[in-house]
Amino acid sequence: MHAPLAVIGGGPGGYAAAFLAADLGVDVVLVDAAPRLGGTCLLHGCIPSKALLHVARVLSEVEELGQDWGVVFGQPAIDLAGVRARKDKVVGTLAGGLQQLAKRRGVRVVCAHARFQDANTLQLEGDSDSIPTGGAMTFDHAIIATGSAPIVPEPLRTASQRVMDSEEALRLERIPDSLLVVGGGYIGLELGTVYARLGSRVTIVEMADRLLPAVDSDLVKHLQRRLGKLVEDRLCLNTRVLEMVDRAAGVEVTLQDSASQRVEEFDAVLVAVGRRAVTQHLGLEKTRVQLDSLGFIQCDRQQRTAEPHILAVGDVAGEPMLAHKAAHQARTAIDVIQGKPTEFDKRAIPAVIFTDPEIAWAGLTEQQAAAANRRVESALFPWAASGRAQATGRTDGLTKWLIDPDSNQLVGCGIVGVGAGELISEAVLAIEMGCEVADVSHSVHPHPTLSETLMNAAEVFSGTALEIYKPRRR
């Protein structure tokens, strides 16, 4: 079998590339080892976790209504099978939709493991009827979009069924009485929130001195304060897991912080310390495709590898490992294959952590600016001064712009608070268009809304904010 374009991986980067190419009349074969399209994001990550986080959020709101608003409900009863069924229904609906879209576009989907025999041939392995006779497929162009997988460091590897990675945790087979979350990154915090709201006694350990070390500290502190209350101050920073031993009653974990070493027992453990690119067993050694020191496929700004007719998009092509980045890189890759002079060149790729409160950012962060020795000025608007935040009782938020002081251009934005992920897109547009801070401050925003905090923060920069006092800039 021959295909003008072979796409390896059916996640957001892979199916986007296949669909875009098919819409242009290209004969596409999409190869994925899973029986359903969607990749990690849809099947084992972004979508099921957000479905569960919705449940957690509603439970939190019900509790707060009883505590602060005089509206008292009965104690919620968790039907775990019902929660799991709803999550699976969401995933199934979206995955089924992708399958239908592939069919309508004429994309041939092959359920198989793909391995390069050489730079122009794939060997397709598996037992699906979709695999061609002999299992070999040649191609003119190939796009690698195999995504990423959870990392489990050697000291944390065990055969115990009580130790989970993120994909296993999302199956929601049970709610453990006590859960240790290893890792204070976004995956550990999101899933830790879910399990805590569903009834687990959650403990979070993080090697660094704060949660989310890559995120600006003024955003993280709002989350850390609220999360600390949810887990009853069982946030263990500057703490390492030295050993885990499966016992009859639970997992015995040896923890070490700066002061001492201790042993605690947990009903279950979630290991969420990062992800790695899925490049093993692809046969890349049979090609000139190169990996960097972290295991990501090396690409140029056109997503081309050292084999110019083989491209890579998404997680496998490096940080940031985000579904929306993968989809946009897929657009670049298809344009390049079509001979268009294009590059993947984005000023602002938004990232969102769907905790409570959410954290979102785009463009430059203060940490990145400091590392690059780049001078920026920040303009912050606390949500305590927001009428909308006060009206909903969620003032634990902050909107921040980073501004180039020489040009007054917006170069970065960070938001923490309820719905931050829905607010960040305005910032992405402003940064990509090269807007100056006055472009946002002079744009009329509706009141009372949280979106106007973007305008308010811009007004803080010029000293024209009404809700807080800061002297006008001269």
CATH 3.40.50.720 fits 351-462, yes or no: no
Name residue, tokens 């049979």: 286
Name residue, tokens 């190419």: 21
Q: Strand 163-164 vs strand 268-271: parallel, antiparallel, or unpaired?
A: parallel
pTM of the complete model:
0.94
Q: How many CB atoms lie within 10 A of CB 233?
A: 10
Residue 474's pLDDT is 57
Q: Nearest-CA neighbor of 112 among 132, 96, 94?
A: 132
Residue 472's pLDDT is 66
Length of the chain: 474
Q: Tell me if domain 2-149+276-337 and domain 351-462 are identical in fold.
A: no
H or E stretch at 100:
helix 80-105
CB 222 within 8 A of CB 231: no
Tokens of 289: 């495709």
What letter would DSSP give residue 298? P
CA distance 459 to 227: 31
154-273 maps to which CATH number?
Answer: 3.50.50.60
Residue 473's pLDDT is 64
Residue 159's pLDDT is 78
The domains of the chain are located at 2-149+276-337, 154-273, 351-462
Burial category of 136 from C-beta neighbours within 10 Å (exposed 0-12, middle 13-18, buried 19 and up): middle
On the question of a cis peptide bond just before residue 320, with omega within 30 degrees of 0, the verdict is: yes
Name residue, tokens 């309820």: 418
Cβ-Cβ contacts under 8 Å for 370 (sequence gap 6 or more): none
Exposure string of 192-227, with b = 16+ CB inside 10 Å and e = fewer, is bbbbbbbebbbbbbbbeeebbeebbeebbebbbebb
On the question of a cis peptide bond just before residue 150, with omega within 30 degrees of 0, the verdict is: no
Burial category of 4 from C-beta neighbours within 10 Å (exposed 0-12, middle 13-18, buried 19 and up): middle
Cα–Cα distance list, 205 to 72, 172, 202, 270, 316 (Å): 34, 21, 10, 11, 28
Instruction: Let me know the angle formed at the C-alpha of 437 by 433 and 443, rounded to the nearest 5 degrees.
Output: 85
Q: Nearest-CA neighbor of 315 among 327, 307, 306?
A: 327
Question: Taking the mean position of all CA atoms in its chain, how far away is CA 108?
Answer: 29
Residue 206's pLDDT is 96
Question: Taking the mean position of all CA atoms in its chain, how far away is CA 181?
Answer: 17
Fold designation for 2-149+276-337: FAD/NAD(P)-binding domain (3.50.50)
Residue 153's pLDDT is 86
CA distance 199 to 201: 7
Q: Is 447 a catalytic residue?
A: yes
Q: Nearest-CA neighbor of 184 among 242, 234, 148, 145?
A: 234
| Average pLDDT, 10 consecutive residues per value, the chain (474 residues) | 96 98 98 96 96 96 92 92 97 97 97 97 95 94 96 83 94 96 96 97 96 94 95 95 92 93 96 94 96 94 97 96 97 97 95 97 96 96 97 96 97 98 98 98 97 97 89 65
CB 336 within 8 A of CB 169: no
